[in-house]
Copies of this chain bind each other. A is one copy, B any other.
Amino acid sequence: MSKSASIGPELTIGQLAKTAGVNVETIRYYQRIGLIIEPIKPAHGYRHYHSDTIEQIKFIKRAQQLGFSLQEVAELMSLGHGGCLDVRKRAEQKREKIDRQIQDLQALRETLNQLINTCKRDASDQYCPIVESLSKI
């Protein structure tokens, strides 16, 4: 209570993990692979994490849920190195990749949708059009 009367938004790894909604070990793992930087260890005591790291971790998690690997997340996060032109180029590449992902998913969605509609006819039927056509998707 004496020291650090809320000078800056600093957290221990446990607090960070809790507020970011991940495991402590996950943070340590991200540090190991260089995805987030490990704050220097003070001569005495625990490492302090800046509260910005919360957003960073949440970003990682969101990107992951969208199908990006940690490698790709690292690329997304490193867009800041190389000047505005380079950054824009890389962002455009990412956008194209996302576009392809969306198109693939939409195609699958459409296929699935058609199957569901053909199936509407007789719910208790033993014969099922979905099953029949699934192997030919």
Contacts and interface: CB of A to CB of B under 8 A. Distances in A.
**Copies assembled:** 2
Contact of A65 (B55, B62, B66, B104): B104
A4 to B, nearest CB: 24
A116 B104 contact: no
A103 to B, nearest CB: 10
Interface of A: 52, 55-56, 59, 62-63, 65-67, 76-77, 79-80, 83-85, 87-88, 91-92, 94-95, 98-99, 101-102, 104-106, 108-109, 112-113, 115-116, 119-120, 122-131, 134-137
Interface pairs A-B: 5 shortest CB-CB? A80-B131, A84-B128, A85-B123, A88-B119, A84-B125
B88 A116 contact: yes
A124 B83 CA distance: 7
Contacts of A91: 112, 115-116, 119, 130
